[in-house]
Structure 1
Amino acid sequence: MSAVPVPRAAPLMKPSAGDLRATIILPAYNEAAGLPTVLADVFSVVGHLPGYEVIVVDDGSTDGTTAIAHTFPARVFRHKANRGKGAAIRTGLSRARGNVIIVMDADATYPASAIPRMVELLETHDLVRCNRRQNTETMPLVNRVGNWLFDRLLTFSHGLDGSDHLSGLYGLRREALLRMKLESEGFDIEAEIGIKARVRGLRVTSFPIEYNARLGDKKLNPWRDGFLILGRIVAMFLLYNPLLTFVLPGFLIMLLALGGAFLLAQSAIITPFFGLDIHSFIVAILGGVASFQLIVFGMAAALYGVEAGYKPASWLVHLSTRPVRLGGALLGFLAVGFAAVYIGALVGRWFAGGAGKFYDTREVVLASTALVFGMQLLSAALFLSIFAGRLERLQKGLPALAPQPELDE
């Protein structure tokens, strides 16, 4: 690849968003060593093709990256401070005008010759990823091991197909990328894109490329950024799998906690090794209450996933149906009413006995628990009612908001 800069020229055209065939985004942070080679390579491939634009996002560089980018016919944007690779990509996306988006690292490790094939594949796919042919000369051992581990983790936890999910050369349809509503600021951006592509059922393909030795200092810290990527994968696993991570564990914990509380409500449990009495009973009751909160949190996570573009799960739609909501609300109302009456009766009996030593602690704790559970059921039913119509429409594949009828003026 040649490192000779292409003389700066006026932009080929000034189209609006979506009028170009492709936008190539190059996130760059202190890439003065590699950027001239990358841009020369890119323009040698697409410079003569109509409908392409190149965007360089300087992520707060201090080595003249912006000045180098301005020597090429590229659109250049600069962050005042270093914000991370993900932030740079999102900035480029917000300025992109192409129907498809190609993202490529600016360190000369990826071949620009792959871009035309990527754009062609994006006519029939939503995401195209280039898989690196790894070797000991171009990628350190710790990076190779880390990529392999993350590939296995993404396959196991999110069901992603293929390999090299953290590749720095990939392309997506612009509308699909915008609908993802990306949040990542750093090197976890590729993990977020891959997971959301899987969640949305996008059409994904890949093909192998040669991976070259980088020019300039590396920016990825294997340990710091590795933990960042791991955190993103775990957080999105919790978000997009709430039934497994919150609802079912909460239900099982509730059964164990309330079962233990029921046994301890009868009498203390004494063994040769330990004893369980009123304090253990109260702890079991609190575990039951906390487990219900875990279930509600799982419902909230599932609803957030729907807002992020995930199709509603069947269990969530079932819980939001009118009979289930009304049944839950009725059960909660009865629990609150019964608990309030029973607590009042216990307190009244205590006063009638002279308000001396109180012996009905277990009964009060059980009644108070029923009161709290009843209030939580009422709140959960109301919470689901807010989203019920939206969930039903999304489950049927209809728009989230019903079209409004036209009115005569």
Structure 2
Amino acid sequence: MSSVAIIIPAKNEFDSLKKLIPKLISSFNEYEIIVVNDGSTDKTSELLRELDIKSIEHKYSKGNGAAIKAGARAANAEALLFMDADGQHQVNDIKGLVEEFKQGYDMVVGQRNRTGQASFFRYFANSFYNWLSSKVVGHDVKDLTSGFRVVDAKKFKRFLYLLPNGFSYPTTITMAFFRSGYSVNYYPITVKDRIGKSHINLIKDGFRFIIIIFKIGTLYSPLKLFTPISVTLFLLGIVNYIYTLLDSGRFTNMSATLLVSSIIVFLIGLVSEQINSIQFENKEED
């Protein structure tokens, strides 16, 4: 069994892969290298056959997260190292990530700096993710969405069922590890401009921005998300009641709706918290 499996999800990244794979073979031939070809329509399939490395072929694109899961299932190593196929993640950083992981961490994430962000929008969004997740988990989360990371294979595979098929797998697995009490650390990396066209869409990214915010809260601790909403609705209901009582001497439907909604939201959060706890406890027993 190899100590580390390098898993690379790829979709139409021929130009980058023809440079990346030979570097990996030359520098880390002792590692298991797996490329998951996620429905590419370029010459990626031909390149992988030519290089004669382990690959998984998706007949159609299933998403970055689906490729990650397929690679993890196929890997036969104690640790899994994930990196992008677009040329942004550097081979030179792999050794540092693995060495940091060997210090006893369950997951080490490649931490990007400001220049490593694709755009100001991405930098702003990622900074907000980091701040929000840090508040939720009570630890300093330095790069929540980085796809360059090394993890304990056994522990990672416990959470495959949680991972989405799209681009937000880093967020999900990071929060799952924190939720389970596993140790997570960060290692500074150098990120270069990608080779070829990005698969990220600004509009879809904006929508994903909102989804990730809720996912962070509901995955780690639902009550931390639902309680502030419940309290806000309750206070609005009280304020509205006081106003209408002084203005017209009556209790309005709006006040009733706000107060009842606050109770319902809190109960939803409470039930979600219990379900979440049971879910993670069951995985620990597996």
Number of the residue aligned with 1:128: 108
Within 5 Å, which residues of 2 pair with 1:219-258?
Answer: 219-246=199-226, 250=230
Number of the residue aligned with 1:46: 28
CA radius of gyration, larger in = 1
* Counterpart amino acid of residue 307 in structure 1: I
Identity %: 26
Unpaired segments ≥5 residues, structure 2: none
* Counterpart amino acid of residue 36 in structure 1: K
Number of the residue aligned with 1:61: 40
Q: 1:215 aligns with which of 169, 189, 195?
A: 195
Does the 8 Å contact 1:26/1:104 carry over to 2? Answer: yes
Unpaired segments ≥5 residues, structure 1: 1-18, 264-268, 311-389, 402-409
Does the 8 Å contact 2:10/2:36 carry over to 1? Answer: yes
Q: 1:117 aligns with which of 91, 96, 100?
A: 96
Judging changes above 3 Å, is the alpha-carbon distance between structure 1 residues 35 and 160 closer, same or farther for their aligned structure 2 residues? farther
Shift of 1:275: 4.5
Does the 8 Å contact 1:191/1:232 carry over to 2? Answer: yes
Task: Please say if 1:95 is aligned against 2:74.
Answer: yes
Judging changes above 3 Å, is the alpha-carbon distance between structure 1 residues 147 and 46 closer, same or farther for their aligned structure 2 residues? same
* Counterpart amino acid of residue 44 in structure 1: S
- Partner-residue secondary structure (3-state), 2:14: coil
Task: Please say if 1:147 is aligned against 2:118.
Answer: no
TM-score of the superposed pair, with normalisation by structure 2: 0.83
Task: Please say if 1:32 is aligned against 2:46.
Answer: no
* Counterpart amino acid of residue 46 in structure 1: F
CA distance in 1 between counterparts of 2:245 and 2:213 reads: 45
Does the 8 Å contact 1:179/1:309 carry over to 2? Answer: no
Number of the residue aligned with 1:79: 58
Number of the residue aligned with 1:184: 164
CA distance in 1 between counterparts of 2:210 and 2:245 reads: 45
Shift of 1:252: 8.3
- Partner-residue secondary structure (3-state), 2:6: strand
Q: 1:298 aligns with which of 243, 248, 269?
A: 269
- Partner-residue secondary structure (3-state), 1:82: coil
Shift of 1:111: 1.4
CA distance in 1 between counterparts of 2:261 and 2:113 reads: 49
Judging changes above 3 Å, is the alpha-carbon distance between structure 1 residues 73 and 125 closer, same or farther for their aligned structure 2 residues? farther
Residues matched between the structures, number: 283
Judging changes above 3 Å, is the alpha-carbon distance between structure 1 residues 214 and 292 closer, same or farther for their aligned structure 2 residues? closer
- Partner-residue secondary structure (3-state), 1:309: helix
- Partner-residue secondary structure (3-state), 1:245: helix
Does the 8 Å contact 2:79/2:152 carry over to 1? Answer: yes
CA distance in 2 between counterparts of 1:92 and 1:220 reads: 21
TM-score of the superposed pair, with normalisation by structure 1: 0.60
**Higher RCO (CA-CA < 8 Å; seq separation 6+):** 2
Within 5 Å, which residues of 2 pair with 1:270-309?
Answer: 271=246, 273-276=247-250, 280=252, 290-309=261-280
Judging changes above 3 Å, is the alpha-carbon distance between structure 1 residues 57 and 291 closer, same or farther for their aligned structure 2 residues? same
Number of the residue aligned with 1:161: 140
Q: 2:180 aligns with which of 200, 203, 206?
A: 200
CA distance in 2 between counterparts of 1:141 and 1:283 reads: 41
Judging changes above 3 Å, is the alpha-carbon distance between structure 1 residues 298 and 33 closer, same or farther for their aligned structure 2 residues? same
Does the 8 Å contact 1:109/1:214 carry over to 2? Answer: yes
Does the 8 Å contact 1:60/1:83 carry over to 2? Answer: yes
- Partner-residue secondary structure (3-state), 1:70: helix
Which one is further off, 93-102 or 162-171?
A: 162-171
* Counterpart amino acid of residue 233 in structure 1: I
Judging changes above 3 Å, is the alpha-carbon distance between structure 1 residues 289 and 120 closer, same or farther for their aligned structure 2 residues? same
Within 5 Å, which residues of 2 pair with 1:344-359?
Answer: none
Shift of 1:99: 0.9
Judging changes above 3 Å, is the alpha-carbon distance between structure 1 residues 239 and 23 closer, same or farther for their aligned structure 2 residues? closer
Shift of 1:165: 2.6
Number of the residue aligned with 1:363: none
* Counterpart amino acid of residue 25 in structure 2: F
Does the 8 Å contact 1:127/1:172 carry over to 2? Answer: yes
CA distance in 2 between counterparts of 1:288 and 1:256 reads: 8
CA distance in 2 between counterparts of 1:147 and 1:253 reads: 29
CA distance in 1 between counterparts of 2:231 and 2:35 reads: 50
